[in-house]
Structure formats: C-alpha cells, structure tokens
C-alpha cells in the first residue's frame, strides 16, 4: 500500500520545466540566415545554410567569463604553447564568446577580430556582450584581405581561423 501512496504523491508534485526557448533575433544576411536564441541561461547564435543549422556560439549569460562549448574550450589549448600572447587574431567572430573571454583573461593583449558580415557584428554587440576597446577591435572585412594587409606589420602570437 505504501508504494501506491508514493506514486500518487509523485503525481501531485510539480513537474520540472524545460527552459523556455525563445528566438531573440532572426535575420537573413548575404552570407547566412542568422538566429539568436535564448534557452534558460544559454544564449546561442545559429547559422542556417544549405538547409542545415550550425551552432556558432553559446554564452551562459550568468557566467560569461566561462566558455560553454567544448569546441571553444579546446581552442584554449593553444595557450599551452603561447601562455602570454601579446597579439591575437581571430578570423570569424561567431557570437564572440572566445574573443570576449580572451579579452577578459588578457586585458592588455591586442586582439583583432575579422568578420565579413556586418549583421553578425551588430548581433554580437546587441546580444553577446561584445564591447570593443582600444586593444580589442572588430574589423568588418574579408579575412583574406585583412591577412594580406598584415604582411609587413607586427606578427600575431596566436591566430584562430573560425
């Protein structure tokens, strides 16, 4: 009989709710169809191209200094080879989670981010806490052109192609 009561009590307990899924932005650009979604504390940027969705970035809005995606965390293994970078280049912004963290961890490091899609830059500033500073700059240009222009300038300690 006691087993029946336990089952009945579980019936009356409130069920756990899944985090609410909300589309914050959806826009078509010359390069992608871009979605920004919110699910609980996770905010994500997705690209849709050729009929498939691709997760570009995720940030935990309550813990922005920590990288949420395994891919992003694995990129940080490069710091084992260059633990104190002075200059970093990131080609491709995504949601900016990686470069935002790098800027937080290395505030004196010069970080250049190259992104061809102006709408992605705009969405990052609006939804992903991207704030440029004197040494954390976003360049709206094709990455190939930017790299060519850097030939005779100071070399980068780390280069990420994302």
CA distance linking residue 14 with residue 17, whole number of Å: 9
- State the first-to-last Cα distance of the chain, in angstroms, to the nearest integer: 60
Q: Which listed residue (60, 142, 152, 162) is catalytic?
A: 162
Ramachandran category for residue 96: left, alpha or beta (phi over 0 → left; psi -120 to 50 → alpha)? left
Whether the Cβ atoms of residue 115 and residue 139 lie closer than 8 Å to each other = yes
Q: What are phi and psi of 93, to 5 degrees?
A: -90, -40
Beta strands in the chain (DSSP E): 21-28, 33-39, 42-49, 52-60, 87-91, 110-115, 136-140, 158-161
CA quadruple 47, 45, 84, 78: dihedral, nearest 10: -50
4: annotated active-site residue:
no
Could you list the active site residues? Answer: 162
């Amino acid at each position: 009989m006691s087993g029946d009561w336990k089952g009945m009590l579980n019936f009356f307990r409130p069920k756990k709710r899944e985090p609410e899924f909300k589309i914050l932005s959806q826009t078509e650009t010359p390069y992608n169809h871009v979605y920004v979604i919110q699910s609980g504390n996770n905010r994500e940027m997705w690209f849709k191209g050729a009929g498939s969705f691709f997760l570009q970035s995720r940030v935990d809005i309550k813990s922005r200094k920590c990288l949420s995606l395994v891919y992003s965390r694995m990129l940080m293994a490069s710091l084992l080879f260059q633990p104190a970078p002075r200059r970093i280049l990131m080609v491709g912004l995504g949601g900016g989670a990686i470069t935002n963290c790098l800027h937080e961890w290395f505030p004196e490091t010069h970080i250049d981010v190259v992104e061809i899609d102006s709408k992605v830059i705009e969405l990052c500033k609006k939804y992903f806490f991207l704030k440029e500073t004197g040494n954390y700059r976003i360049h709206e240009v094709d990455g190939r052109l930017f790299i060519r222009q850097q030939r005779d300038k100071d070399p980068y300690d780390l280069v990420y192609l994302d």
